Amino acid sequence: MRRTSLRFGKGFKVALGNARSQAATMVIAPGDAEGHAGNKHKGADQWLLVVSGEGRATINGHRYRLRPRVLLLIERGDRHEIRNDGTAALVTLNLYVPPAYHADESERPAGRPAERGKPPRRSTN
């Protein structure tokens, strides 16, 4: 079992994870955005829960309103941008299955999650 207390600071921060899933916090200032029209996760689904604030998500060219308690499933490969068009910070909790980011917040390449204690399988080609 692993545990952490979430600190919703400015920007994006990986909070906790294992080989199969990952949680991150994201705080976007009014007028700012994360991602862009071509942004997509190659190897992970993203669950986004709005904790507070308002904004909009543009997913595969379609716009969706964001407000507290809205839950989105942004599937692997969906192009997406999250924009704060409100007057207060847009605060979200994001879950990635499998993990989408390394500890330094750089994106992981597409692939299968590694099992704890087992090395990744290598191709014999």
d(CA 125, CA 122): 9
The dotted CATH code for 11-93 is 2.60.120.10
pLDDT digits (tens, 9 = 90+) for 62-79: 999 999 999 999 999 999
Instruction: Report the predicted TM-score, pTM, of the whole model to 2 decimal places.
Output: 0.83
Cis-peptide, bond into residue 119, ω within 30° of zero: no
| Domain residue limits, the chain | 11-93
pLDDT digits (tens, 9 = 90+) for 33-49: 998 878 888 899 999 99
According to the model, what pLDDT value does residue 119 have?
Answer: 44
pLDDT, greater one: 13 or 109: 13
